[in-house]
């Protein structure tokens, strides 16, 4: 697949910038992940995707579906051998605090990203995704990033440091396109830790039971996506009508859906390797808005 140029949060403009802000606030995360930044390379599609997905993403139902998916992943990997990367490297207390924060952030975000990707993939394939509820009628969650959530800090995709560069090349080759996943770019802030973790994660990814587990996660995400509360009004025809390259959008979406289950399994192993992980509040608290605001929004 040809390399797709991601739209960075700082370079985003116009509607993409607006959607980035709404995404961060609605998903209650401190940044926009690689998957979404890749979609943003097709701006009209990206805005339409958010119009279709946004009402779902802000519901408690969506978060519970994502939390259930993540629990499945955790249950799958908990019986696997301990990764041992966390204890293998010499990191100081502050470094561990930051690395743990990065893992907590991705733990809160990645399952929801997979759910979104699965929903979009199914919709583009012509499936009826989501129920026929009226957007806004279900319980919604508060907006805003939790106070404890770490900043989404990444090493550049083409780092100057040779070790990180070769790790990134290997990671991308192993997990597939598009681009180096965000959690690995985040962990690259501590190259020795990323190296220790990747050295242990990679061999396991070739095993049959890993592949089967990834397939199971993918299927589960699709099932959950089909039961989203509101219809996801996206189709190849709509994307074409917006003037976007349908095939390119579909290819990127397929690539994302192909690799995210494996990334989730790896993330689960990383998380289970770290003592004292603090979960981000998920699902969040209910969104409380004055009646007149709600009425205005539902008009």
Partner 1 sequence: MNWREWQRHQDVLELGQRFVSYVDWGRGSPVVLLHGMPTWSYVWSGLAGGLATSHRVLVPDLLGHGFSDRRDRFDRSLSRQAEALEAWLDRLGVVDAAVVGHDVGGGVAQQLAVRFPRRVSRLCLLDSVSYDAWPLPLMAQLGTPWMARRLSPERMVGVLSWALKSRGFAKKPSAQVVEGLLAPYMTEVGMVSLARDAVALNTNQTQVVTPRLGHLAVPVLVMWGAKDKVLPAKFGERLVWDIPGARWVKVPDAGHFLMWDAPHAVAMELFRFLEGEAPVTHAPERPVAEVLWGEGAPG
Which residues would be at the binding site for partner 1 (CB under 8 A)? 8-10, 30, 90-95, 97-98, 147-148, 150-156, 189
Q: 232 and 129 in contact (C-beta within 8 Å)?
A: yes
Phi, psi for 158 (deg, rounded to 5): -115, 80
Taking the least distance from each CB to partner 1, the nearer of 91 and 226 is 91
Taking the least distance from each CB to partner 1, the nearer of 68 and 144 is 144
**Sole residue written with tokens 């508060």:** 142
- The Cα–Cα gap between 180 and 85 comes to 20
DSSP state, residue 149: P
Taking the least distance from each CB to partner 1, the nearer of 93 and 243 is 93
Taking the least distance from each CB to partner 1, the nearer of 153 and 254 is 153
C-beta of 94: minimal distance to partner 1 in Å? Answer: 4
Q: Which of 221, 36, 3, 246 is nearest to 122 (CA)?
A: 221
Taking the least distance from each CB to partner 1, the nearer of 189 and 274 is 189
- The Cα–Cα gap between 140 and 287 comes to 6
Q: Which of 208, 214, 197, 206 is nearest to 270 (CA)?
A: 197
Taking the least distance from each CB to partner 1, the nearer of 15 and 254 is 15
C-beta of 83: minimal distance to partner 1 in Å? Answer: 21
C-beta of 19: minimal distance to partner 1 in Å? Answer: 17
C-beta of 1: minimal distance to partner 1 in Å? Answer: 25
C-beta of 180: minimal distance to partner 1 in Å? Answer: 14
Q: 118 and 232 in contact (C-beta within 8 Å)?
A: no
Phi, psi for 181 (deg, rounded to 5): -60, 150
C-beta of 236: minimal distance to partner 1 in Å? Answer: 34
């Amino acid at each position: 697949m040809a390399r797709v140029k991601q739209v960075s949060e700082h370079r985003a403009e116009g509607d993409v910038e607006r959607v980035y802000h709404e995404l961060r606030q609605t998903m209650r995360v401190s940044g926009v992940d690689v998957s979404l930044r890749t979609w943003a390379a097709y701006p009209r599609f990206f805005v339409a995707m958010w119009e279709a997905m946004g009402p779902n993403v802000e519901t408690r139902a969506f978060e519970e579906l994502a939390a259930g998916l993540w629990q499945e992943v955790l249950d799958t990997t908990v019986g696997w051998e301990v990764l041992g990367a966390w204890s293998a490297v010499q990191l100081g207390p502050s470094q561990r605090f930051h690395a743990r924060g990065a893992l907590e952030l991705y733990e809160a975000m990645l399952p929801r990203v997979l759910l979104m990707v699965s929903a979009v993939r199914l919709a583009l394939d012509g499936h009826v995704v989501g129920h026929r509820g009226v957007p806004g009628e279900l319980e919604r969650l508060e907006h805003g990033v939790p106070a404890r959530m770490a900043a989404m800090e990444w090493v550049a995709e083409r780092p100057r440091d040779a070790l990180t560069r070769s790790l990134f090349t290997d990671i991308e080759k192993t997990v597939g396109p598009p681009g180096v996943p965000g959690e690995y770019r985040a962990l690259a802030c501590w190259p020795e830790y990323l190296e220790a973790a990747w050295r242990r994660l990679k061999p396991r990814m070739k095993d049959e039971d890993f592949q089967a587990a990834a397939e199971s996660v993918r299927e589960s995400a699709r099932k959950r996506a089909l039961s989203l509360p509101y219809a996801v009004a996206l189709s190849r025809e709509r994307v074409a009508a917006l003037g976007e390259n349908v095939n390119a959008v579909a290819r990127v979406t397929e690539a994302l859906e192909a690799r995210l289950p494996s990334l989730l399994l790896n993330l689960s192993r990383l998380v289970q390797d770290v003592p004292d992980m603090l979960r981000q509040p998920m699902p969040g608290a209910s969104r409380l808005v004055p009646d007149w605001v709600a009425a205005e929004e539902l008009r």
